[in-house]
Each structure stands twice: as C-alpha cells, then as structure tokens.
Amino acid sequence: MSTPRTVRAARGTALSAKGWPQEAALRMFHNNLDPEVAEHPEELVVYGGTGKAARDWRSFDRITASLRDLEGDETLLVQSGRPVGIMRTHEWAPRVLIANSNLVGDWANWPEFRRLEARGLTMYGQMTAGSWIYIGTQGILQGTYETFAAVAAKRFGGTLAGTITLTAGLGGMGGAQPLAVTMNDGVAVVVECDGSRIDRRIEHRYLDVRADGLDHALDLAVKARDERRPLSIGVLGNAAEVFPELLRRGAPVDVVTDQTSAHDPLAYLPAGVSVEDWKDLARAEPEEFTLRARESMAAHVEAMVGFLDAGAEVFDYGNSIRDEAREGGFTRAFDFPGFVPAYIRPLFCEGRGPFRWAALSGDPADIARTDRAVLDLFPENEHLARWIRLAGERVAFQGLPARICWLGQGERAAAGLRFNELVASGEISAPLAIGRDHLDTGSVASPYRETEGMRDGSDAIADWPLLNALVNTSSGASWVSVHHGGGVGMGRSLHAGQVSVADGTDLAAAKLERVLTNDPATGVIRHVDAGYPEAERVAEAHGVRVPMKEG
Ligand code: NAD
C-alpha cells in the first residue's frame, strides 16, 4: 500500500522491532508524520516548507519494515528519505545512518535540486524532518523564547511588557513566535497568508486570537501594550503587502522579524497570488514564481529596514530572507543582523544548544518526571527553571510527549545519564529518545545563520558538521544524519544531527556519556578554533582537549 495514510507512533512498552534503539527510530520516524505533529503529513512534509521524513510512501513502508527487521548489530542506510542498504556493523554503531539533500558544490542550487527531486532521486530533509527528531512547534519554542528574552535584555530592560513585535509566518517553526513573545510578556502581531495555519496555532495554544483585519489587529495590539498585558494576534494577509502598509501607517512597532519559509522561494507566497493557486503556479512556472517571490521578499525586507530606520530592533530569524531580498534587487537587505551573531553566539561558545527528548511510552507523566529531574540537576539555574515551569504549564504536546531545553557542555551528559537511571529504575515507564536540532553549537556550517560573522571569518568552512557526524557515529549515537540546505536553503548550509536512546541499560549509559559529551564539545572546539575566549574557558573547565592550545 504506497498511498497516503494516517500515521501515529506506537505507545507503551511492547516492541514491534528487535530492540529499543530500532523501536525508538521507528516511533520517532512515525511521530514526525503524526497529523498532530506534521504540517502536511499526506505529502510526508513535516515542517519548514517541504521538509520531509521519507521520500515517498513506498520508501515509508520500506523504512518501517527495515527498522522492524533490523538486528542490534546492523545499520540501515537512508539516502534522502529512501532506505538503500542494511549492513552488518556492531552494537556500538548507529542503527541508522542518514544523508539528506546533499549535492556537490557547483550543483547545489534549487533548480538542480528540483530537477533531481522531480526524477524521484532526492528529497528535502530540512533539519529534524528527515532525521526523525521533530517534536512539533515546541522544538523551536525555547530557542525563540531565549531569542526574544535576549532582545528584551538588550533593548527593553529585560521584558517585552509594553512592546509590540511584528513578524510573519505561523508554520511549524514560525508558530512558536507568538507564544515566545507572550512568555516574555510582550504583544505579538503575526501576519500569515494561510488562514488554516492561524487556526492550527490557536488550537495548539501557541496563538491567542485571530484579528478581523489590520485595523482590528492594531487596536488589539495597542490596547494590550498600553495595559502591559501579553497578547498574540494572528492576522490574515501577505507580509509583502502588510509590512509596507504598517510602515506607511507609522504603526508603533518595537521589534520586527520574520519566519515565513523564505529559504525556499517556492514556499514563500508572492504578493498577488492566492493561497489556492500557490502550489499549481509554483509547480508549473518555478522560475517565474521564484522571481515574483524574490520581488515580494525585497518589498517585505525593505519595510523591515524602514522599521529599523525608525528605531525598531530588527533581526533575521534564520530563514535567509535577507539573501532572497538581495536577489530580488533590494540592496540594503543586510542592514540588520541575523539572530545568531546578535543574540545566540555566546550560548554556542558554552556548547549550549537545543537539547530535547521524547517519551516513547506516550505518557505525559514521563515528561513531568524528566522535568523534575532537570530542576533537581541544575538547581542554581533560575532561567532554566523558569523555562521548565512555563513549558510544563503552557506547552501543549504534539504527538509523543517531549521536552526541549537548552543545555551546555557537561549538562547534557548529566541529564542523559540521569534520564537513563530513571528508565532503569522504572520511574519512567519506557525509554526516551534524546536528540537535538541541527541548529546547534558544533553541528552546522551556515554563513547566513549559525556561522554568520564568525570571528576568524570561517563562516563557510563546512568541515565541522562532517566531523560532528563522524564523532557522534564513533561515540555510540543511535542514529546520525548529515544534511544540506536545512532552514536556509540549497547551497547555504551543511548540518548534522544525532539521536541517542536511553533504554536504561549499562550499554546505553556508556554510549550516552560519550555522545552527550562529545557532541556539544565539537561546538566548543569549533568556537575555540575561531578565537572565542569564552569557548576557551569552557573547554578548560570541562577538560575538552584542543591540541592547538596544548604544548
Ligand atoms: P512552514 O513552511 O511550516 O511555514 C511557513 C509559513 O509562512 C506558512 O504557514 C506560510 O503560509 C507562511 N507564508 C509564506 N509566505 C508568506 C507571506 N508572503 N506572507 C505571510 N505568510 C507567508 O515553515 P516553518 O517550519 O514555520 O519555518 C519557517 C522558516 O524558518 C523556514 O525558512 C525555516 O527554514 C526557518 N527556520 C528557522 C529556524 C530558526 O531557528 N530560526 C529553525 C527552523 C526553521
């Protein structure tokens, strides 16, 4: 049966595979396509424009069957969403190795990718879509919350109360923006061209209200701002039209960003095109559509720069919209920074990044138990404690219950080992899958995002994500992936992911200790190598060895 169908991960402790690592990969693969989790599951699209979990439904079936059949000393190879081989390895080797969307340098562009995709030879893996560790909008929520907290600290005395943030895009990742702003006590106005996405975010409690139009949105926003009351407002419209209109009206906006799927011009709706015509037009005339999308992005970014000139805090939120706007003819697109150099790099220097885990039991009580474990492990970290409490209260799970929190060098290994103990003692009812986003400290080369403006100019050096994947493979991760493109699009990034399974065994503990030490350590050494003294201090404190600093 190679036709679309409804997929949901199994729950509970009964295995349909030959071991927990294989079962974990199977459940997380299926969980990515749960209708509660995926944006367009019928097309196997999880999030981020066209980010898919498997190439087609036949590949889905063959991956499922292969994972069920896989021995504890075998490894399944997945090439852009298609299972291509099963090999005898050993029990410390990953059970799955994944490579998605990779193209040779000179061929790494959208037209060539689409040509190959149309021939059924590849798929777009985004970051956690094709590497089976997407956990719904929560996956980006803490990063977005941290980013807005950094904006608040930098410009508004530590809170967004009494401010209005304007942004666009309420998709799988962008949908985190309204909740992240209200968690920082601010008001968010979010422009989205597809009404069904606005309703989905309200249903999942990420967005508070839908405005009847622009006037209504502004009235609601100003009133809430004046009362210093957090509120998020979705408004239907095209950002390429609404942003310039708000600028023209002199709307009182304090912070501006964007999270439409700008990384892929076919996933950005140009002004004047209806949502209904979008897919057909993009498919029929991809080049013409790209030109129109870039022209619209130029207008969209020109308005963002207008708000910058008017004194707002403006940043690119990791979707490459500046480069697309530049391609569309707007020369000042890079006047505002990306969010990593503006707010996140110091965290990367500490090996800190989006650590996450999912309860394979399906039982929310297991996540509540891990939340308590994190609070017990790091009692001195008030910021983390506030996040864990807020997430416990305000985050609605999508699919398998999961949690994310940014942890650094030393902390990730401590958490992983504690979780494994909780599984071993039966305090948690089934194993946990522990992974992370590819947007992490040492796992990505992306000159418009994670590695923008590196101190030594090494932004485009892509050896680091490859070393990261090799180290995780050598350290005992359960599945490891190497992708191209991700959040910023073809030709603009290489990145790697890992997921490890805490099944309560001694072997899992030995693997977790190594992976969760070495994985963030690649980020620490990457930043030491680029000349960040903060990273050198972290390396020293945690015994991360850097030969060029020895002797
Ligand atoms: P998505 O495709 O699920 O959602 C994008 C949304 O933008 C859709 O709902 C779409 O209708 C809307 N949209 C498109 N064009 C529009 C326009 N002109 N006006 C208004 N709305 C428009 O994608 P996503 O998963 O939400 O990701 C959004 C972007 O963020 C992608 O480019 C992704 O690669 C990037 N991203 C950033 C980070 C980060 O950490 N900052 C992480 C992951 C992804």
User: Per-residue pLDDT tens for 374-392?
Assistant: 999 999 998 899 899 999 9
Query: Ligand 1: distance of its center to the CA of 506 in Å?
Result: 41
Query: Ligand 1: distance of its center to the CA of 263 in Å?
Result: 8
Residue 181 lies inside a defined structural domain of this protein: yes
Q: Pairing state of beta strands 209-210 and 231-236?
A: parallel
Residue 259 lies inside a defined structural domain of this protein: yes
Q: Known binder of ligand: residue 239?
A: yes
Q: What is the distance between the alpha carbons of residues 50 and 128, in angstroms, rounded to a whole number?
A: 12
Give the nearest ligand 1 atom to 242 CA: 19
Q: Known binder of ligand: residue 145?
A: no
Residue 170 lies inside a defined structural domain of this protein: yes
Q: What type of residue sits at position 423? A: V
Burial of residue 332 (number of CB atoms within 10 Å: 0-12, 13-18, 19+): middle
Summarize the confidence of residues 259-272 as an average pLDDT. Answer: 97
* 249 has a pLDDT exceeding 80: yes
Residue 301 lies inside a defined structural domain of this protein: yes
405 is catalytic: yes
Phi/psi of residue 354, each to 5°?
-80, 75
* 1 has a pLDDT exceeding 60: no
Q: Can you give the residue range of the structural domain that contains 325?
A: 138-336
State whether the beta carbon of 51 lies less than 6 angstroms from ligand 1: no
State whether the beta carbon of 50 lies less than 6 angstroms from ligand 1: no
Query: Ligand 1: distance of its center to the CA of 511 in Å?
Result: 35
Summarize the confidence of residues 308-330 as an average pLDDT. Answer: 97
ipTM higher than threshold 0.90: yes
- Shortest-distance Cα residue to atom 2 of ligand 1: 49
Q: What is the distance between the alpha carbons of residues 427 and 420, in angstroms, rounded to a whole number?
A: 10
State whether the beta carbon of 338 lies less than 6 angstroms from ligand 1: no
Strand partners for 496: 482
Residue 161 lies inside a defined structural domain of this protein: yes
Tokens 């404190």, residue located: 541
State the average pLDDT for the chain. 97
Q: Residue 551 has what pLDDT?
A: 82
Q: What is the DSSP letter of 20?
A: H
- Shortest-distance Cα residue to atom 9 of ligand 1: 171
Q: Known binder of ligand: residue 317?
A: yes
Query: Ligand 1: distance of its center to the CA of 451 in Å?
Result: 20
Tokens 């090999």, residue located: 87
Domains identified in the chain, total number:
1
Query: Ligand 1 test: best mutation among 47, 197, 261, most atoms within 8 Å of CB?
Result: 261
Query: Ligand 1: distance of its center to the CA of 319 in Å?
Result: 7
Torsion of CA 321, 438, 345, 254, to 10 degrees: 40
State whether the beta carbon of 191 lies less than 6 angstroms from ligand 1: yes
State whether the beta carbon of 243 lies less than 6 angstroms from ligand 1: no
Decide if 252 contacts 164 (C-beta within 8 A).
Answer: yes
Give the nearest ligand 1 atom to 439 CA: 40
* 420 has a pLDDT exceeding 60: yes
In degrees, rounded to 5, the angle at the alpha carbon of residue 33 between the alpha carbons of residues 32 and 34 is 100
What are the pLDDT digits (tens) for 176-189? 999 999 999 999 99
State whether the beta carbon of 194 lies less than 6 angstroms from ligand 1: yes
Give the nearest ligand 1 atom to 238 CA: 19
Residue 248 lies inside a defined structural domain of this protein: yes
In sequence order, the 6+-apart residues with CB closer than 8 A to the CB of 230 are: 161, 181, 182, 183, 184, 185, 186, 187, 224
Summarize the confidence of residues 496-503 as an average pLDDT. Answer: 98
Summarize the confidence of residues 199-227 as an average pLDDT. Answer: 97
Give the nearest ligand 1 atom to 293 CA: 18
Q: Known binder of ligand: residue 174?
A: yes
| Among candidate residues 68, 69, 65, 48, the one with its CA nearest the CA of residue 57 | 65
Query: Ligand 1 test: best mutation among 259, 304, 315, 406, most atoms within 8 Å of CB?
Result: 259
**84: three-class secondary structure by DSSP:** strand
Q: Known binder of ligand: residue 287?
A: no
In sequence order, the 6+-apart residues with CB closer than 8 A to the CB of 17 are: 23, 25, 26, 67, 68, 70
Query: Ligand 1: distance of its center to the CA of 102 in Å?
Result: 21
* 303 has a pLDDT exceeding 80: yes
State whether the beta carbon of 169 lies less than 6 angstroms from ligand 1: yes
Q: Residue 328 has what pLDDT?
A: 98
Query: Ligand 1 test: best mutation among 304, 319, 339, 345, most atoms within 8 Å of CB?
Result: 319
What are the pLDDT digits (tens) for 481-497? 999 999 999 999 999 99
Q: What is the DSSP letter of 396?
A: P
Phi/psi of residue 479, each to 5°?
-145, 145
| Among candidate residues 110, 104, 117, the one with its CA nearest the CA of residue 44 | 117
Q: What is the distance between the alpha carbons of residues 49 and 332, in angstroms, rounded to a whole number?
A: 26
Q: What is the distance between the alpha carbons of residues 5 and 35, in angstroms, rounded to a whole number?
A: 10
Residue 187 lies inside a defined structural domain of this protein: yes
Q: Known binder of ligand: residue 475?
A: no
CATH number for the domain spanning 285: value is 3.40.50.10730
Summarize the confidence of residues 336-355 as an average pLDDT. Answer: 95
Query: Ligand 1: distance of its center to the CA of 368 in Å?
Result: 30
Tokens 């893996």, residue located: 125
State whether the beta carbon of 174 lies less than 6 angstroms from ligand 1: yes
Q: Known binder of ligand: residue 496?
A: no
Residue 173 lies inside a defined structural domain of this protein: yes
Q: Known binder of ligand: residue 87?
A: no
Q: Known binder of ligand: residue 173?
A: yes
Give the nearest ligand 1 atom to 486 CA: 34
Summarize the confidence of residues 270-274 as an average pLDDT. Answer: 97
Catalytic residue among 37, 405, 413, 477: 405
| Tokens found for residue 477 | 């991760």
Decide if 185 contacts 159 (C-beta within 8 A).
Answer: yes
What are the pLDDT digits (tens) for 111-121? 999 999 999 99
Q: Residue 159 has what pLDDT?
A: 95
- Shortest-distance Cα residue to atom 37 of ligand 1: 318
Query: Ligand 1: distance of its center to the CA of 37 in Å?
Result: 15
What are the pLDDT digits (tens) for 432-479? 999 999 999 999 999 999 999 999 999 999 999 999 999 999 999 999
* pTM (whole model) above 0.80: yes
Three-class SS string for 250-306?
A: CCCCCEECCCCCCCCHHHCCCCCCCHHHHHHHHHHCHHHHHHHHHHHHHHHHHHHHH
| Tokens found for residue 297 | 């992005």
| Tokens found for residue 102 | 């990779």
State whether the beta carbon of 36 lies less than 6 angstroms from ligand 1: no
Query: Ligand 1: distance of its center to the CA of 139 in Å?
Result: 14
Summarize the confidence of residues 123-134 as an average pLDDT. Answer: 98
State whether the beta carbon of 140 lies less than 6 angstroms from ligand 1: yes
Helices (H) and strands (E) in the chain, counts: 19, 17
Give the nearest ligand 1 atom to 197 CA: 9
